[in-house]
Structures are given as structure tokens and as C-alpha cells.
Structure 1
Amino acid sequence: MTRQKKIYLEESEMPKQWYNLAPDLPNPMNPPLGPDGKPLTPEMLAPVFPMNLIEQEVSQERWIDIPEGIREILVQWRPSPLIRAYELEEALGTPAKIYYKNEGVSPAGSHKPNTAVAQAWYNKQFGIKKLTTETGAGQWGSALSYACAQLGGIECKVFMVRVSFDQKPFRKMMMQTWGGTCIASPSTETQAGRNILEKYPDTPGSLGIAISEAIEAAVTDPKGETRYSLGSVLNHVMLHQTIIGLEAKKQLAKAGIKKPDIVIGCCGGGSNFAGISFPFMYDKIHGEDIQVIGVEPYSCPTLTKAPFVYDHGDVAKMTPLLPMYSLGHSFIPAPIHAGGLRYHGMAPLVSAALRDGLMEAQAVHQSECFEAGLLFAKTEGIIPAPETTHAIASAIREAKKAKEEGKEKVILFNFSGHGLMDLVGYDKYMSGLLNDYEYPESEIQNNLKDLKGYPQPK
């Protein structure tokens, strides 16, 4: 064997700090706002999150230490391998070098435990006994259930978007195996859920609805022992995921590569994209020529069609107003199989990066994504999650472009999770039962009517 496919780091080389993009943005972020339209204070978030995570949420420190107690759990699968996609390159006949960071090696099968472990650890340090959360495809709910089991002494309740609850029963079983409780959302357990079911009894659900239920369940605990945990969108979640890109930098250096030409991640709420891209945005801000691409479904075109507005993160408007690209909090997505990419808004930090020109956005239909996923499985051997196929489809596009241009580009993408729990989607695609869906502009405008009178971000 003459070629090196996998690039590893020693456990001792795992990053000891996370990278915070906020202080390096070309323009300051707009603050989250309360119901009165005034900036939130940390104390206003205290019923929802522990103060140690709130401090990270509002931090302007560039580097934040990773506590040893968190690193001791992350080392179960980290550092994750960086893999050269030789077989995919050969199938495409491209001169591009394609590398992918394999986050599918985590116990839950995706990048999500990077922040789940951190959030569960900080909550336990703060004395919290129960965590509630939402999940789309089930990857986040699985990750948080795993994290709570690892730390011990924390109960985990997950509200799972109903269409995914029905499509992905094994995700529910994974949560239960780790001791979590999984409930289809909307449910009758919360007032928010009951209100939705009364109005839309056959709804497939949405992340916005599930978030409302999870927050309500947390803030109505009479003992005050429950907090809410979010798998994406918020600043501290983006922070925890940057371990991905920081490791990738070290691994590319071991391969003799100073920098990638293109960095790609799929985009739902923004966490895996931020994880791979933010450390490279730091380089871009400081003069490096790096193209950064966020990829989303045509059926949920948050970055490619939505305006930059202040909006709530959930349907019941229990969250603060966040500055983000949003399709409107009342958005109900089509039941595509990339359940983790069906969120109406985009992380404020990712939204700021797009606003400031640090990245660009692409939308891809699910048929192209599944086609890319099948090619990847047949060449590289790993079956990717439907969410991950969006990043693969974009990487294939860029590799073909490099072939047309005759340029030997270095393409890096985040393999955010494997698809072994998502084979129903592959079966439907191969059986010709999946249709492409483009979310209509008229529906976006209809949703945005709910934002009339809201403050406007700068």
C-alpha cells in the first residue's frame, strides 16, 4: 500500500479549546431580544439554561477552554479520522483532492455528541437533574440520551418531530437504550402541543413545534430541576462543534496541506456546518482564499430564499427573537427524509457569516442528494445520513467543476453522520417513491406575515 487514506491524531492532540467566531465577525452580531424588543440579559435566560452555558452563549472570548471532564468522554471517539476519498475521486475522474471528516464514528453516529456531552456536563455541574429537548431525525435526541447516560444522574426527555418518529423507529429505540424518553411531537403532554393538535390534527410536526414543547416542559417544572438543551442554532452549540474543524486543520497539516480551497457542510440549524467551517472562516477573515459552502434542501431554503430578520426559534414564540435567516416560525416543512435539515431558521452566527460574505449557500433537491449518497456508499463504503448527502452532493458538484477547470483543488467536507438508521429513505429513493419539492415563494411570504411589526436586524 502506497497511499495514506486515513489521517489520525493522537488522543493527546485533541484540541483543548473551542473557537468562538463571534469576536472575529466583520460586523457585530445583533443581540437576541426579549418580548419588549429590548436586548436579553443573561438572567432572563436562567429558567431555560444553566448560567455556565449562558456565559458561553454571550461570550466574546475567541478561545474557550474545554474542561478535562468533557475531554475524558469525547475521547471515546475523538479525534475523529480525516479520510481521503480516493475511490470517489477516481469515480468522478476529478483532479480535486476530496477529504471528509468522519463524524459518523461517534456512539450516536453523528456530530451531535460533541455538544451533547458538553451541555450535559455543564448542566450536571450546575445541579440540574432533568433535560428536555427536541429532535428532528432523531440524531440529536440520541446524542443527548447518550450524553446523559455517560454522565449519570440526569434524566432526558426528547420531543421528536412526528414524521421522523414514524419514519425512524430505531432512533427512538436508541434513545430508550441509553435511558432517554422519546415522545412524538406535537403531543398532548404540553399546552403548545395540544394547541397545535387542535388546529392541525394530522400535522407531520416541525422542529419549531417540538422546541415549543421542550421549552414548556422545562420552564414549568415546579421544582426548578429541569433545563432545556438545544442541539443546534445557539452560539454555545456552534462553539462546541468547532472541535471538528480544529482537528481537521491539524490533520490536513499532517498531509502536507496548508489549507483547503473549499470547505462544505450541510445546513439545518447550523451546528455541523459551523463545526467544520468556523475555524477556516478564522483563516479567511485573516486573508486566506477559502470558499465556504453551506448546503440545504430546496424544500427548506432558509439560506437561499429567506430574508435576514428577527424571528422566534419556535412556533409558540417561547424563545427570544433571534437575528437569523428565517422562513417564519409557522413554517411546516415537507416530510423529506433529511429530518435534521427541516428547521425554519438558521443559527445567528451562521446567518451573520452569510450576511458578512464569509460563506455562500446552495440548495439541492433530495433526488440529487440520494444519488450522491449511493455513489459515496458504492465508492467509499459508508452509507451517509440523508442530511450528510447534501454536503456530498455539493462536494461532487465542486469536484466536477474542478475537472472542467483542470484545477487540482482541495475539497473538505463534513461527513456529519452515517445513514444506517435512515435506510427507509434509501429504499424509497431506489423504489422511485421520492419526489423533489421546492418550497413556494408564496408560502414564505405568507409565513413572514407573522413577523409584521417585529424589529429589524442591522
Structure 2
Amino acid sequence: MAVKIFLNEDEIPKQWYNIAADLPGTPNPPLGPDGNPVSPEMLAPVFPMNLIEQEVSQERWIDIPEGILDLLYRWRPSPLRRAVYLEKYLQTPAKIFFKDESVSPAGSHKPNTAVAQAWYNKEFGIKKLTTETGAGQWGSALSYACSLLGLECKVFMVRISFDQKPFRKAMMETWGGKCIASPSPETAAGREILSKSPDTPGSLGIAISEAVEAAVTDEKGETRYALGSVLNHVMLHQTIIGLEAKKQLEKAGIKKVDTVIGCAGGGSNFAGLAFPFTLDKINGADIEIIPVEPASCPTLTRGPYAYDHGDVAKMTPMLAMHSLGHDFIPAPIHAGGLRYHGMAPLVSHAVAQGLMAPMSLKQLECYEAAMIFAKTEGMIVAPETSHAIAATIRKALEAKEEGKEKVIIFNLSGHGLMDLNGYTKYMAGELTNAELSQQELDATLERSIKGNPVPKL
């Protein structure tokens, strides 16, 4: 069997898959401050209407415009690889495949939606985009996309990652983006948080507040906000990953997939691979679908399914999602892209419907898995991706114990060449397993979601 499975450029998917059309039950709508559903018009100061239409769409298949395909051709279709050397190391009968999203110019899956969002904003007449970023992968991707389309880009980067990953800022600036540590003195939300907690490591919830504020306060109306995960249209754009993977597995002669795995922070890379396979599961296929998150930020495994805000300053609508509370500040682990208090509403709804089986893992197990992967397959992966690899190793060893030849596929969401500080600290024995106590979790939930509406299943 081939180790690398490619698609020709003319085989790139021409449509995105919208799982909202097929999920059992009715996904809960975003709610405004009055508790009523948010109308598309209420989102207009934040997003262009062409993306809002995708956000609320119930169409199963949405055409990818030629202008976006032309941008995607720069690195897509991405390879599907078989991890034969990891299989040999583990002595497992399982066949392990991974979708290699590290081949994009920004080094991760994030440009799949960055170029789409930048293109739709440009079509709508927008000139500037603001956003947040955790580990810096999304900020890098949007800076790259804006450079292709001639848009200005301002990125609020979570302080701890801003300090841990200085070369991410350099990447953004190379593509013309402006990168600012969050919380910052540039916004009212940032100033308020700094006055209370000047030494805060920051969070994605804080950075989102700053980016949204920066967009909606543009008096000229030339700025909109772009989000790298969580929202429906972002999940939609990322499904190109799973759609390609299904074609590649077919080329490799694989007729049945047993396990689909992706790391999960806000949900975008996980959903990108998993949603096309979830459609098969909805239609009766026996597939285990596993979103993997940090034990220190266990949104799906310990957070309730509730209505909550996506940001600290409560500038976003309330979303029906698994949440640890919008003012939760996760421990400063190196997987900065997974340090988010909430989860994509579509992923949350699928988990609530029993279609997915979330797993949480500790930091040291994930780095150990990343080291094994580097020494077998040769690739140094992002700390976020290490969670998917650790879960894959667990499932491959289970297959070994059971003596079953299972097929496992995971998403390699990004390389770790900008994250070597974390590897250095791991090898020096300086990393620890951050824990979230039940007392801390109870306190943040009491502050954040008590009294909020309860989502319907």
C-alpha cells in the first residue's frame, strides 16, 4: 500500500459540506442580550452578509467559488499519509493514516477558511480585518490570506503565546499583519482587564473581545471581524479536509474507517476532518469519532452543554456550546490553540447527540507522543496536533490488544517548527501536567452561565 496518497488538482472538492443539514435535532440559534435569537442583520457590523448567509444556511452542499479555489490551489489538495513507521514502532495491526495540513504556507489547516473569509470580505467591499489568535497559527493564516487579497489585518495574540512563540509574530508581519499582545491597552476591554490583572497570561476569550471591539468601533465601517474557529461557516470551509481524505482513502483501497481523531480547541480542524465522516455515521456507519482536548481545558469532557458567550467582555451573542465559562482563564500550556473555554456549536450539538466520544489528555502524554512521532515519521508537530497523535497511539495499542486490524485516521493540523520552545522544555523536564480542580470549574461556571437559557437537545 502507498505511504503517500495524492489527489490531482482537478480532484479538489468543488463544494463544502454543511453538517447543519443532517444533524439530528435542531441546532440551537445564537441568542442576543434579551434572550431572543439573533437575526442576520444584528451580525452585520461584525461579519459581511455573504458569510452571515453561510452561517445560517441549512443547505447540505455549498459551492466553492472559483476565486477561492484559485487561492486554495496553492497548497491543496493536501497529502494523505500512512504512518507505517509509527505502526511498526507500536507493533499494531491497525492501519494509521493522517491528513497532512502542515503543507500550507502558514503551516496549518487554518488557511482553508482564512482565504475564504478574506475573499468574501473583499467581495463585500471590506478593507480591514481584525482577529484573535492563540498559538498564532490563525493569525499567521489570516495575515497570509489578507496579503493575497490586499486587505489590512490586525491580530490580537494571547499574551502567553505572544511570549512563548515570537516567530509567529514575525510570520504575521512578513505577510503585512499587525500583531498585538492581548490583553492590550488599545481597546476598552483590554484596558479593563489589565487594570484588574496586569500579569494575566490572557485567553482567547479576551482576545476575541478586543478584536470584535476593534472591528465594530471603526466609524468608517470598513472593518470586519474574522474568526478562526467555532462558528458554522468556519466549520464549513474546513470540511475540504475530510472530503479530500475520503477520496484518498478510496484511492488507497480502504473501504471502512473505524476511528476518526482530531485535536479540539474551538473545533475547526477536528470538524474539518470529522464532519464528512459524521455524515456516514448519521447514515448508519460504525465509526468512532474522537475530539481530543487538553485535560487542563476540558471543554467537552467536563464543561456543561449550555448557553454562554464566546468572549470575556460578552460582546458576542450567547452560543449553545459546551463551555467552561466565558471568563475561564486556562493554564498556560504550550498548546495555545486549544486554550478556549467553549466549543463550536455544531461540534457541541453532535457530542450532545452521541455522535462523538470526546477525550481529554494531559500535556506530558501528548509531548511524549509527539516525540515518538518525530522519531518514527520524522515530522515535528504542533503541540495541538500532539493531542491527536496521543489519542491515535492509545487506539492503535487497543487494536493491538484486541488483535484487530482497524483503520484509524487523524488530522495533522499543523507543524511545530514555531513551537520548539515547548519541545526544549519538555526534553529538559521543565513541563508539568496542569490540572483543573472541580472547585475552580464550579466557580467559573457559577460566574458565567448560571441563569442562562438551557439548550434543547
Q: CA deviation at 1:151?
A: 1.3
Find out whether 1:209 has 2:189 as its counterpart: no
Q: CA deviation at 1:259?
A: 2.6
**TM-score in terms of structure 2 length:** 0.99
- The residue that corresponds to 2:67 in the other structure is 69
- The residue that corresponds to 1:313 in the other structure is 310
Q: Distance in 1 between matches of 2:60 and 2:316?
A: 26
Give 1:134-173 correspondences, 5 Å limit: 134-152=132-150, 154-173=151-170
Identify the match of residue 400 of structure 1 among 391, 397, 409.
397
Alpha carbons of structure 1 residues 151 and 259: separation in structure 2 relative to 1, 3 Å: farther
- The residue that corresponds to 1:298 in the other structure is 295
- The residue that corresponds to 2:341 in the other structure is 344
Q: Distance in 1 between matches of 2:252 and 2:21?
A: 30
Q: Distance in 2 between matches of 1:107 and 1:358?
A: 33
Q: Distance in 2 between matches of 1:188 and 1:273?
A: 34
Q: CA deviation at 1:179?
A: 0.2
Q: Distance in 1 between matches of 2:439 and 2:126?
A: 44
- The residue that corresponds to 1:112 in the other structure is 110
What SS does the aligned partner of 2:358 have?
Answer: strand
Amino acid at match of 2:361: V
- The residue that corresponds to 1:79 in the other structure is 77
Q: Distance in 2 between matches of 1:404 and 1:453?
A: 47
1:404-454 per-residue CA deviation (whole Å, 9 max, x = no partner) reads 000000000000000000000000000000000121111111111222221
- The residue that corresponds to 1:390 in the other structure is 387
Q: Distance in 1 between matches of 2:95 and 2:452?
A: 46
- The residue that corresponds to 2:283 in the other structure is 286
Q: Distance in 1 between matches of 2:239 and 2:438?
A: 34
1:265-320 per-residue CA deviation (whole Å, 9 max, x = no partner) reads 00000000000000000000001111000000000000000000000000000000
**Structure 2 gap ranges (5+):** none
- The residue that corresponds to 2:12 in the other structure is 14
Q: Distance in 1 between matches of 2:80 and 2:271?
A: 17
- The residue that corresponds to 2:41 in the other structure is 43
What SS does the aligned partner of 1:360 have?
Answer: coil
Identify the match of residue 455 of structure 1 among 445, 453, 456.
453
Amino acid at match of 2:58: Q
What SS does the aligned partner of 2:99 have?
Answer: strand
The range that moved more, 434-443 or 200-209, is: 434-443
- The residue that corresponds to 2:365 in the other structure is 368
1:138-174 per-residue CA deviation (whole Å, 9 max, x = no partner) reads 000000000001112x100000000000000000000
**Structure 1 gap ranges (5+):** none
- The residue that corresponds to 2:356 in the other structure is 359
- The residue that corresponds to 2:88 in the other structure is 90
Q: Distance in 2 between matches of 1:434 and 1:91?
A: 25
- The residue that corresponds to 1:437 in the other structure is 434
Q: Distance in 2 between matches of 1:178 and 1:201?
A: 30
Amino acid at match of 1:327: L
Aligned-residue identity in percent: 75
Q: Distance in 2 between matches of 1:279 and 1:453?
A: 35
1:245-264 per-residue CA deviation (whole Å, 9 max, x = no partner) reads 00000000001112310000
What SS does the aligned partner of 1:80 have?
Answer: coil
Amino acid at match of 2:178: T
Q: Distance in 1 between matches of 2:441 and 2:74?
A: 43
1:91-132 per-residue CA deviation (whole Å, 9 max, x = no partner) reads 000000000000000000000000000000000000000000
Q: Distance in 1 between matches of 2:436 and 2:141?
A: 30
- The residue that corresponds to 2:56 in the other structure is 58
Amino acid at match of 1:86: V
Taking only aligned residues, the RMSD between alpha carbons, in angstroms, comes to 0.5
Equivalenced residues, count:
455
- The residue that corresponds to 1:31 in the other structure is 29
Q: CA deviation at 1:19?
A: 0.3
Q: Distance in 2 between matches of 1:151 and 1:251?
A: 30
**TM-score in terms of structure 1 length:** 0.99
Identify the match of residue 330 of structure 1 among 316, 327, 340.
327
Q: Distance in 2 between matches of 1:351 and 1:453?
A: 20
- The residue that corresponds to 2:259 in the other structure is 262
What SS does the aligned partner of 1:101 have?
Answer: strand
Q: Distance in 2 between matches of 1:438 and 1:350?
A: 24
